[in-house]
Amino acid sequence: MPRVTPRAARLAAWIAIPAALVASGAVVSTASYSAFSATTVNPTSNWTAGNVALTDDDNNTALFNATGLKPGSTGSNCITVTSTGSLASAVKLYATAPATTNGLASNITLAIDLGTGGGFGSCTGFTPAATNSSVYSGTLATFGTSATNYATGVGTWTPTGSASDSKVYRVTYTVSPTAPNTVMNGTASVGLTWEAQNS
């Protein structure tokens, strides 16, 4: 094996340095070039839920507070219910917290009609709907036990959700002309709930 002198080793080292610089420059030069590219963009997507919404004009006041009733007693009141939701929906009416003593609820006939005109406190100008105006007709007791939630509720009103929509409900009660003496001092009560569900 040939002997490497110190002078030859130094010479080889000086030769290696320019070669390394040339190689490094080639790498930097290659990396400095940009690649061609292209993109296409779809604008940001957004999702917003619609809603169903109901209000009424009762100012948190009961439709009736009737006292001193007797066979044949009757009375009416109206209430306007308004849908302001953005979704098409179906509105149902049902009873909440029904209660009675002495069988009074079984001796009161309840008639609920759908239409326009009038409002809470007055049915002046009320006009029944041309079709499906009768929402319920029967005893107060039956209404209180059969229409107890949305699934068993009554009514055919279907707001479209395209604009605010109002309907007037006329509620009429009549104490049976043949109510027996056992009904005396009896009581009856029920809450009315309107509920909308999107269709």
User: How confident is the model over 18-74, as pLDDT tens digits?
Assistant: 544 444 554 444 556 789 999 999 999 999 999 999 999 999 999 999 999 999 999
pLDDT at 26: 47
From 2.40.128, 2.60.120, 1.10.10, 2.60.40, which CATH number describes the 54-198 domain?
2.60.40
Mean pLDDT value across residues 118-137: 96
Cα 160 to Cα 43: distance, rounded to the nearest angstrom: 30
User: How confident is the model over 8-17, as pLDDT tens digits?
Assistant: 555 455 455 5
Number of H helices, E strands in the chain: 2, 9
The DSSP letter of residue 43 is P
User: How confident is the model over 74-121, as pLDDT tens digits?
Assistant: 999 999 999 999 999 999 999 999 999 999 999 999 999 999 999 999
Q: Token pair for residue 93? A: 């009416």
pLDDT at 176: 98
Domain ranges of the chain: 54-198
User: How confident is the model over 46-57, as pLDDT tens digits?
Assistant: 999 999 999 999
Alpha helices in the chain (DSSP H): 6-31, 140-146
Which of 168, 198, 196, 6 lies closest to 92, judged by CA? 196
Q: Does residue 129 register a pLDDT over 80?
A: yes
Cα 141 to Cα 100: distance, rounded to the nearest angstrom: 8
Contact 53, 83 (CB under 8 A): yes
Cα 117 to Cα 33: distance, rounded to the nearest angstrom: 79
pLDDT at 153: 98
